Each structure stands twice: as C-alpha cells, then as structure tokens.
Amino acid sequence: MVTGEIQIRVRYAETDRMGLLHHANYLVYFEQARIELLRQTGGNYKELEDQGFFLVLSKVEVKYKSPAYYDDVLTIRTTVTRSSPVRIEHKYEVFRADGKLVAEGFTTLACVDRAGKLQAMPDWLSRAE
C-alpha cells in the first residue's frame, strides 16, 4: 500500500466560533494530503490534467473522533486502499501532536476525460495500491 504523511497547522480562519477546526476544512486537508501523496510517488495533478486525466471526487466520508483546535499541528496519514483502472480509494487518519486520533476519512476518486466521461487512469496510477 502507498502511504504518506503531511503536517498542517490549523489556522484561525479555519476554525468556528468555538475555536474548533470547522468540519468542512477536513475535506480541504484530505485533498492537500492526496496531492502530496501523488507528488511523493513521482506524479502531480497538473501533469495528469495536462494529459487529459481528471480525478473527480465521487464519494467521501468523514468520521469525527475528537476536536482539533486553532494552532494545533495535525498529521494527516493518507493511504491508497484500493485502485482499479478507473477509480482510486484513499483512507485518511488525522492525528494531533499528542497522538490523539481526530478524524478518519475515506474518498473515492473517479478518472474522467475533459468531457466528464469515465476513462481509464494511466497504468502507473491505477497500480498505486
């Protein structure tokens, strides 16, 4: 399995009135972690898109376990859990610096062409498991 980690510090603008990381920002963090994982494996989204391959989110799930707060440094561990010629699935684990699990997430991305029609991913990406 392909796995990578990044760290993100929770910015004030990403929190709600109670000082908690707003739930919508987890999806932004997941995307950032996915992009970095792709980069770590030698690819990048810009090159994929320039070649006519677009990865669109077709399913997302987040399980919130414990709050994250302004200025927390979070580690997001991203793992490719399954891939096929047209889809790739990721699991995300978000940890605070004290090791506490903050959230788990799961996404499915489908590969489409410029017209939005399902197409096969490049071979190197569909074997990223």
Would you call 114 helix, strand, or coil by DSSP?
Answer: coil
At residue 38, the pLDDT reads: 93
Task: Reduce the secondary structure of 98-127 to three states and give it as a string.
Answer: CCCEEEEEEEEEEEECCCCCECCCCHHHHC
pLDDT-derived band of residue 1, with 50, 70 and 90 as boundaries? confident
At residue 86, the pLDDT reads: 95
113 is catalytic: no
Q: How far apart are CA 1 and CA 76, in angstroms?
A: 16
Q: How far apart are CA 81 and CA 126, in angstroms?
A: 12
Better pLDDT: 104 or 124: 104
Q: Is the pTM of this model over 0.95?
A: no
DSSP state for residue 65 in the 8-state scheme: -
Catalytic residue among 16, 71, 72, 113: 16
pLDDT-derived band of residue 128, with 50, 70 and 90 as boundaries? low
DSSP state for residue 113 in the 8-state scheme: -
Question: In angstroms, what CA-CA distances link 105 with 8, 60, 118?
Answer: 16, 7, 24
Q: What does residue 89 show for φ and ψ, rounded to 5 degrees?
A: -115, 140
pLDDT (average), residues 11-20: 96
As for how many domains the chain has, the answer is 1
Report whether pLDDT(30) > 80. Answer: yes
At residue 105, the pLDDT reads: 98
**Which domain covers residue 31, as residue numbers?**
3-126
Q: How far apart are CA 19 and CA 118, in angstroms?
A: 41
Which tokens hold the place of 68? Answer: 């994250």
pLDDT (average), residues 6-28: 97
The CATH number assigned to the domain holding 31 equals: 3.10.129.10
DSSP state for residue 79 in the 8-state scheme: E
